[in-house]
A and B are shown apart, each in its own frame.
Chain A
Amino acid sequence: MSTVEGDLTLRDVPGPSALGGGWKRSMELLYLLALTDFKKTYFNTALGYAWSLARPLMLFGVLVTVFTQIFHLGKVPHYPVLLLMNIVLFGFFQEATLIAVGSVVGQEAIVRKTQFPRLVIPLAVVLTALFNLMLNLVIVAIFVVASGVTPMWTWLLFPVVLALLIGITTAVAMIVSSLYPRFRDIAIIWTVFSTVLFYATPILYTVGNLVGHPTLRHIILLNPLAPIFELARKWIISPHAPSPAAAAGGYAQLLAPLAIYVGVCVLAVWVFNREAPRIAEEL
């Protein structure tokens, strides 16, 4: 029991906010919430982890068949393993953002009845997806080694790719989760849009495959995810692939996706801070 003679300084009660209640508490809640989600996913189904692996592997199986047997994209070095890595990375982005949409509404009781830092909710979703990604990356690593990719020092740079991907994922998760209580059709819009993104990101193909389609290439290079996937490819699988800048045709071309990336992050912080104080009233 704490002492009666505590600190009696009056402090402002600021009202709800993104991280109200202090960093430490927010971090602990983040950890516990993500852990809960994770346990729910893996300990309540008979096959647990196998299920979460089955999804990307099945998608991979279908796509690798279609694109090596029918469309002959197999000329890209180590195409199957590249495809698997891309699917797993994009799977993280898609899973995190799609679940994030309804996350704040899903935690309605906590938001409306306790003092809860709002930002923790979408962050927990991203963190749970990240646990998942880590497990899936183990499988990717096995494939990479098994398919005879030469080990190289750039593998050590993979955390950079991951950090960039987590950054944009978090930003999008913040935007969709904070807007959803007010605009319920965000759910449908984002489902469709994330599917579009799947094809607008160099997952099934590389930017190099787009040489004959300059307009398409320009559009796809606006996608901030594109350089991230190109980086991953160069650093992990084919060191001789052009760097994102080279693939885009100069560093200047990278300014657009970079600006969009930064823009999305700034927008996320702005939108979330704007919505956070009133989220409890919108639910």
Chain B
Amino acid sequence: MLARSQKRPGGAPLSSDSWSLAADAAGDGDVAKLGRSQGTREGAGTGPVVIEARAVAKSFRIPEHRVDTLKERISHPFSRSEYRELCALRDISFDVHRGEFFGIVGRNGSGKSTLLKILASIYRPDQGKVRMAGRMAPFIELGVGFNPEMTARENVVLNGVLFGLGRRDAQSRLDAVLDFAELRDFVDLKIKNYSSGMMVRLAFAIMVQADADIMLIDEVLAVGDAAFAQKCMDVFHERREAGKTIVLVTHDMATVQSLCHRAMVIHDGELQYTGDPEDAALHYYRLNFAHEPAAGGDAVMAPDNDAVAVEINGRAVQARLLDDAGKPIANVEQGAPLVLDVVIEAARELEKPIFVVHVLNDDHVVVFGFTRRLDQLIAPGQRVRLRGEIENKLVPGRYAIDCWIRRDRGFGDMRVQGLRLIHFGVYGTAPRHGIVSLRTNVEPVLEPATDA
């Protein structure tokens, strides 16, 4: 479970699309635990089946060179064999029960979004069958179908119908949507004049008020500011209690672990695992680690790939950045030190655990990292606090902090777990060259003329 507790300290939000759902949902450790206890995992999978997928398969034809014009088609009438079949999904079967929060996780290109689009009736499966009970609404992206030239009022109705409401119904929910989005004063403003934050709020409000029995959501939630995020979380809990079914596609394991009753892991179009989110997370980490040792594990992380296994070692109950006064902040000014404050709860007995902290930039490049070892035996449930100052040489941009918890069992047997702790921004006006900004004293000086 991730936790990030910064409430934006007033002023204009630096970036409104800076939170990940789970991170803000957690708010602080207590809320995080609340979410977990409300999770009623034991209750999941007992309701009636509302989504049933059987042996779903889908492949795309990728032309070797795209035949886009009639001339090409006519001049090469028999060149159809130049298609390459890309098998996006193979033999996927699963059930989702009513009231479940169901996660679909996988790496980029694993086929998870394709599966969601099949569920959403956007793609037709080549084989297999999907059946569904109740009204379904897909949310592949927030604000789809918004017409910038129209007012919020008109857009709400159009979008409501798009997401399965009747026209009258959509009209009658206008007030509820505007209240939820806190945009009542802007109802007759054209959408093109909205700020991106306002647009996101409106889109999300429509999604919530569309009140579908089954919501299919594709990582659209990674937007909005902290207060709004909290509101969204409340809504999700409320939806869940109301017996609505939510299918969420994501590659953020923290979201899955904190929100989902059950999760399924897809890899290369194949179903790897369906069941408990903790185990799903484990599968997912294993896949990631096995296939991409460089992503999170550098030489320090994985001295010998064969001996490294992934397991759940702990979870972050608190993760935040602080300012000089010790107040939590979401964004840091360029050059100001990063004060990290993280509390990790051990999930198992950890003998002399090693914490590897990585700061990644927007391109998932590890800008820098450091390793700390705690020479103690940590019992399950005990908490470890990582707190201290990090010199800030980062250029303005979006960053994330990961922590890898490593447990060395001796004889080269290594168990690691990656946790995404914090997303944050660095702001500043300095021109951005490269990925770090280092102090220099290089100055241009005019050379005296030589008579050579």
User: Do B130 and A114 touch (CB < 8 A)?
Assistant: no
Closest to A184 in B: B68
Q: Find out whether the CB atom of B144 lies under 8 angstroms from the CB atom of A14.
A: no
Partner of B122, one of A9, A114, A186: A114
For residue B279, which residues in chain A have a CB less than 8 angstroms away from its CB?
Answer: none
**For chain B residues 130-171, which have a beta carbon within 8 Å of chain A?**
130-136, 138, 140-141, 144-145, 147, 149-150, 154, 157-158, 161-164, 166-167
B133 pairs with A7, CB closer than 8 A? yes
Interface string of A17-29 (1 = CB under 8 A from B): 0001100110011
Q: Is the CB of A11 within 8 A of B131?
A: yes
17 contacts between A and B (CB under 8 A): A8-B133, A11-B132, A13-B131, A14-B124, A15-B118, A15-B124, A15-B125, A25-B161, A29-B161, A110-B144, A110-B145, A110-B162, A111-B122, A113-B138, A113-B140, A115-B121, A183-B73
Stretch from A32-40, A131-139, A147-155, A262-270 contacting the other chain: A32-40
Measured CB to CB, the nearest residue on chain A to B241 is A4
The one of A1, A13, A110, A116 that contacts B211, using a Cβ cutoff of 8 Å: A1
Chain A residues engaging chain B, CB cutoff 8 angstroms: 1-2, 4, 6-16, 20-21, 24-25, 28-29, 31-33, 36, 39-40, 44, 109-116, 182-186, 189, 277-278, 280-281
Q: 1/0 per residue B68-99: CB within 8 Å of A?
A: 11110100000000000000000000000010
The CA of A179 and the CA of B147, in the complex, are separated in Å by 25
Q: Contacts of A115 on B, CB cut-off 8 Å?
A: 120-122, 136, 138, 164
Task: Give the interface size bracket for B toward A.
Answer: 35 or more
Question: Does B309 interact with chain A (Cβ within 8 Å)?
Answer: no
Asked whether, in the complex, the Cβ of B68 is within 8 Å of the Cβ of A183, the reply is yes
Flag if A112 contacts B122 (CB, 8 Å): yes
B145 & A28 in contact (Cβ 8 Å cutoff):
no
Stretch in B46-54, B193-201, B297-305 with 4+ CB within 8 Å of A: B46-54
Interchain CA distance A224-B144 in the complex, whole Å? 39
- List 8 A-B pairs, minimum CB-CB distance, nearest first: A15-B124, A4-B243, A10-B131, A113-B140, A13-B130, A277-B124, A113-B144, A115-B121
Interchain nearest-CB distance for B217 vs A (Å)? 12
Q: Which residues of B contact A11 (CB under 8 A)?
A: 131-133
B177 to chain A, nearest CB (A): 14
- B242 and A4 within 8 A (CB): yes
Q: Is B129 interfacial (CB-CB < 8 Å)?
A: yes
Please, how many angstroms separate the alpha-carbon atoms of A225 and B195 in the complex? 49
| Contact between chains at A114 and B163 (CB < 8 Å) | yes
Given A8-B50, A10-B52: A15 in contact with B144 (beta carbons within 8 A): no
Q: Do residues B138 and A114 form an inter-chain contact, with CB atoms below 8 A?
A: yes
Compute how far the CA of A1 lies from the CA of B165 in the bound complex, rounded to whole angstroms.
12
Interchain CB contact under 8 A, B211 and A114: no
Q: Contacts A32-B161, A281-B60; is A13 near B121 (CB within 8 Å)?
A: yes
CB of A184, distance to nearest CB on chain B (Å): 5
B69 engages A281 (CB within 8 Å): no
**How distant is A283 from chain B, measured CB to nearest CB, in Å?**
11
Chain B residue at minimal CB-CB distance from A9: B133
Q: Looking at A11, A32, A36, A113, which has the most chain B CB atoms within 10 Å of its CB? A: A113
CB distance from B109 to the nearest CB of A (A): 16
B24 close to chain A: CB less than 8 A = no
In the complex, chain B residues whose CB is within 8 Å of the CB of A16: 121-124
With A4-B243, A14-B121, A185-B70 known, 5 other A-B pairs at CB within 8 A are A1-B242, A32-B167, A110-B162, A113-B122, A183-B69
For the complex, is B219 an interface residue (Cβ under 8 Å from A)?
Answer: no
Q: How far is the CA of A7 from the CA of B149 in the complex (A)?
A: 38
Using known A-B contacts A6-B213, A29-B161, A185-B71, determine if residue A12 contacts B144 with beta carbons closer than 8 Å: no
Rounded to whole Å, the gap between the CB of A29 and the closest CB of chain B is: 6
A32-B158, A114-B144 given; A278·B124 CB < 8 A: yes
Whole-angstrom CA separation of A113 from B135 in the bound complex: 17
Whether the pair B154, A36 counts as a contact (CB closer than 8 A) is yes
Which residues of the partner chain B approach A185 to less than 8 Å between Cβ atoms? 69-71
Which residues of A sit under 8 angstroms from B49, Cβ to Cβ?
A: 10
Q: Once the chains are docked, how many angstroms separate the CA of A39 from the CA of B131?
A: 39
Chain B residues with CB under 8 Å of A14's CB are 121, 124
User: Are A280 and B123 also in contact (CB < 8 A) when A39-B150, A185-B70 are?
Assistant: yes
- Complex Cα distance, B145 from A113, in Å, reads 9
B141 partner residues in chain A, CB cutoff 8 A: 109, 113
In contact, A8 and B48 (Cβ under 8 angstroms): yes
Would you list which residues of chain B between 6 and 63 have a CB under 8 Å from chain A?
A: 48-50, 52, 60
Q: Which residues of B contact A1 (CB under 8 A)?
A: 211, 242
Q: Is B215 in contact with chain A by the CB < 8 A criterion?
A: no
Contact of B161 among A28, A182, A184 (CB under 8 A): A28
From A20, which residue of chain B is reached at the shortest CB distance? B121
B211 in contact with A2 (CB, 8 Å)? yes
The answer to whether B119 has its CB under 8 Å from any CB of chain A is: yes
Contacts of B158 in A (CB 8 A): 32-33, 36
User: Bound complex: CA of A183 vs CA of B67, how far in Å?
Assistant: 8
Question: Whole-angstrom distance between the alpha carbons of A189 and B138 in the complex?
Answer: 36
Q: Considering the chains assembled together, what is the distance between the CA atoms of A31 and B157 in angstroms?
A: 12
Chain A residue nearest to B164 in the complex (CB): A25
**B144 A109 Cβ-Cβ under 8 A:** yes
| Closest partner residue, chain B, to A37 (CB atom) | B147
Quote the shortest CB–CB distance from A189 to chain B (angstroms): 7
Q: A8-B50, A113-B141, A114-B163 are in contact. Are A184 and B134 (CB under 8 A)?
A: no
Complex Cα distance, B150 from A170, in Å, reads: 27
Set of chain B residues within 8 Å of A113, measured between Cβ atoms: 122, 138, 140-141, 144
What residues of B have a CB within 8 angstroms of the CB of A2 in the complex?
135, 211, 213
Whether A28 pairs with B167 at a CB distance below 8 angstroms is yes
Closest residue on chain A to residue B157 by CB atoms: A32
Contacts of A114 in B (CB 8 A): 120, 122, 138, 140, 144-145, 162-163
Question: Which residue of B48, B131, B163, B166 contacts A28 across the interface (Cβ within 8 Å)?
Answer: B166
